[in-house]
Amino acid sequence: MNVLDKIMKPKSIAVIGASTKEHTIGSDIMKRLQEYKFTGKIYPVNPKGGIIEGLQAYTNVNEVPGEVDLAIIVVNAKFVLDTIDQCHKKGIKGLCIITAGFKETGAEGAELEKQLLAKVREYGMRCVGPNCLGVVNTHPDIRMDGCFAESLPERGNIGFVSQSGALGGGILNILKDLNLGFAQFISIGNQADVNAETALEYWENEPDVEQILLYMESIQNPANFRKLASRITKKKPILALKAGRSAAGASAASSHTGSLAGADKAAAALLKQSGVIREFSLKNLFSTAKVFANCPIPKGDRVAIITNSGGPGIMATDAVCEYGMQMAKISDETKAKLRSFLPAAASVKNPIDMIASAPIEHYKQTLETVIADENVDMIITIYLPFLGLKDIDVAKALMEIKDKNPQKPVIGVFMTTNEFFSKLSDMNVNMPFFMYAEEAADGLNRLNQQRLWMEQPAGKIPCYDVDRAKVEKIIKASIAEGRDQLTTLESIDVLQAYGIRACKYGLATNEEEVVNLGNAIGYPVVMKMTSKTTSHKTDVGGVRVNIQSEEQLRAEYKDLIQKLTEKGLIEGLEGVIIQEMVKGNREMVCGIATDPQYGPMMMFGLGGVFVEALKDVTFRIAPLTDLDAKDMIKSVKAYKLLQGARGTKPAQMEQIEETLLRLSQLVNDFKFIDELDINPLLISEKTGEGIAVDGRIKVRLEEAKKAFSCDCAVCCQ
């Protein structure tokens, strides 16, 4: 049996720190458990004993007569460790520690939390919290409201994890108003033990939880999150709100929860690669949840719009098109059917405008006819108030049709009074209703996004045959000299050892060598300085391109030496690299950056001088799957350039994908690579290949040294 069942599906609960004092958590938790009619036994525990909320209180949990599955702990922080010992003595395996005063308060609290976790681990317990709002399970066999929020929970199909306690409480209120019920709720608080990942795993095969909502300020173990989430999202949607996007927000998040808020770029990549639907506001999070709660996943992206007013029909059309979904082509058969009962002034093209006077019967017939059209995957039905027609009656009529045709998503847009929505929230609905057309289009877009993700096979991480030993040798040589930055030459050698296409080159250290190399490679060539001290070569004029002849090469070399001498940069100069000049005006960039929390991230996009100005780059967490690599290339605007714009040669997409995948393998094999830049990855106008024309690699020195301090045959030969 999963120990988490003791917390989420307990047969008996001890409330340690239960209280008779009004408006305290110890009193509120007791009230909630009883009001919501917990199906198991409740044991209040308080050193003073007495009667609490009508139940006999025990002075110690070990005095409780029966078995206890879950202890909800609300005692002062200083008593928590003792309480855990007592729980262990009683044989309790499930804890929910609501008490605050741990990691979130500073170093001392963090130490206390460490001790708390050690005990939990030692005793084989699982623990929600500390510093949390509690846990809820609305299943009729359980009915546990172990939370001190204002409202009692509504029953539904959502599993909800909140990292912020107070926010969790606010959300419970809102969910109720939105007619959104949930199956289980876990306020993870400081997530000492149970975190979002624990919940994901627990809910993966829980039939009661049909969609998962996450409010997160940080992700504890990104790699594990990715593994779990990308598997679960193939079965049920996960919606996430990740706060702390801005630098200021992240700093607030860090002081708030004591957790290091990860860089948002990395979080964005991780969520995308895991198939998680990311929302940027609570409002959108709940709107989307409302849609998933009441709609099947559609078979395609063709949307039909039914309306009794042109304006909102246009607005819905705008929104549908802006999301890249299609306006369904209504079949001739459907049009003929619609014509048979709609007035002449109606439009049977999509959007289907039944005109303002449409009676309920037209709503029913039109929806029924359109739902049957094979060209239609999803439907928005719009109602604007019209004389003598009651909004709630129209809604009921739609739901009646929807009930007979559950196979396609239908969303209602009712531009009417709040009263209508209040009425709905007391009813059993089988489709989502919104006030505005754009909200409906948002919802359909999310359904479509989930469809696309579920239809897509899981990606694979390929393994190429590479010369790992050579890379080790190069890096060892570099760290032996105490350099964390490889030279351009070393960098290009590393890339070539991993099968990445780089251009022909050689190193020269004096004028004669320079000329010999140039002649051997053939003109035009490029000359680049390579230095152990200067990394941004262009900034100091260290790159000379399109050198057409021996004479020009000689002149450029002399000029470079003179300039570097003038600038006092001649010291670190190792020599110059003479390279084949790849012709092409499409400069891409790819590389690796390391996020302190999420680890190595791959980057790809438009390179050259455009990188910083246009920021047309995309990021993914390494290691990449083949699908990740494909998706990266398609998700930059410069993809159009790669396809061949204005008569340029289409790039070899598969070769570029492979470049990214080989880089991903490189950084996976050498985890201490801190930064790697190929800028430019030039698209050859002749072959369409992406060719690494320049490379820059930086390692984390201490980590690299550690990695090599072994006696194995591979790296120490």
**What residues from 541 to 600 belong to the interface with a second copy (CB under 8 A)?**
546, 548, 585-586
Kindly state the smallest distance separating residue 84's Cβ from a second copy, in Å: 23
Residue 607, interface with a second copy (CB under 8 A)?
A: no
Place of tokens 């409202």: 151
Q: Among 128, 158, 253, 601, which residue interacts with a second copy (rule: CB under 8 A)?
A: 253
Residue 439, interface with a second copy (CB under 8 A)?
A: yes
Cβ neighbour number for residue 246 with a 10 Å cutoff: 11
What tokens were used for 545?
Answer: 């391109």
CB-based contact 187:162 (threshold 8 Å):
yes
What does the per-residue mask of binding to a second copy show for 637-666, with x meaning CB under 8 A?
Answer: xxxxx---xxxx------------------
Q: Among 436, 483, 550, 563, which residue interacts with a second copy (rule: CB under 8 A)?
A: 436
For residues 93 and 242, which CB has a smaller minimum distance to a second copy in the complex? 242
Residue 694 dihedral angles phi and psi, to the nearest 5°: -150, 145
Q: Among 219, 384, 564, 603, which residue interacts with a second copy (rule: CB under 8 A)?
A: 384
Which SS3 state, helix, strand or coil, does residue 277 take? strand
Kindly state the smallest distance separating residue 213's Cβ from a second copy, in Å: 14
What tokens were used for 147?
Answer: 């939370």
Residue 418, interface with a second copy (CB under 8 A)?
A: yes
Cβ neighbour number for residue 583 with a 10 Å cutoff: 12
Residue 619, interface with a second copy (CB under 8 A)?
A: no
Q: How many CA atoms lie within 13 A of 294 on its CB side?
A: 25
**Rounded CA separation 56/271 (Å):** 48
Residue 174, interface with a second copy (CB under 8 A)?
A: yes
Kindly state the smallest distance separating residue 578's Cβ from a second copy, in Å: 20
- Across 433-531, where does the E strand assignment appear? 433-434, 505-508, 525-531
What does the per-residue mask of binding to a second copy show for 80-119, with x meaning CB under 8 A?
Answer: -------------------------x--------------
For residues 34 and 405, which CB has a smaller minimum distance to a second copy in the complex? 34
Structural Rg of the chain based on CA atoms: 32
Q: Among 417, 510, 533, 562, which residue interacts with a second copy (rule: CB under 8 A)?
A: 417
Q: Give the CA angle between residues 256, 257, 260 to the nearest 5°.
A: 105
Q: Under rule CB under 8 A, which residues in 123-162 are in contact with a second copy?
A: 148-151, 162
Cα–Cα distances (Å) from 512 to 84, 158, 509, in that order, read: 78, 73, 8
Residue 21, interface with a second copy (CB under 8 A)?
A: no
**Rounded CA separation 143/667 (Å):** 49
What does the per-residue mask of binding to a second copy show for 321-340, with x meaning CB under 8 A?
Answer: xx----x-------------
**Rounded CA separation 643/652 (Å):** 9
Residue 54, interface with a second copy (CB under 8 A)?
A: no
Which SS3 state, helix, strand or coil, does residue 375 take? coil
For residues 123 and 610, which CB has a smaller minimum distance to a second copy in the complex? 610
Residue 520, interface with a second copy (CB under 8 A)?
A: no
Residue 169, interface with a second copy (CB under 8 A)?
A: yes
Kindly state the smallest distance separating residue 303's Cβ from a second copy, in Å: 10
For residues 330 and 497, which CB has a smaller minimum distance to a second copy in the complex? 330
CB-based contact 153:36 (threshold 8 Å):
yes
For residues 55 and 167, which CB has a smaller minimum distance to a second copy in the complex? 167
Q: Which residues contact 106 (CB under 8 A, 6 or more apart)?
A: none
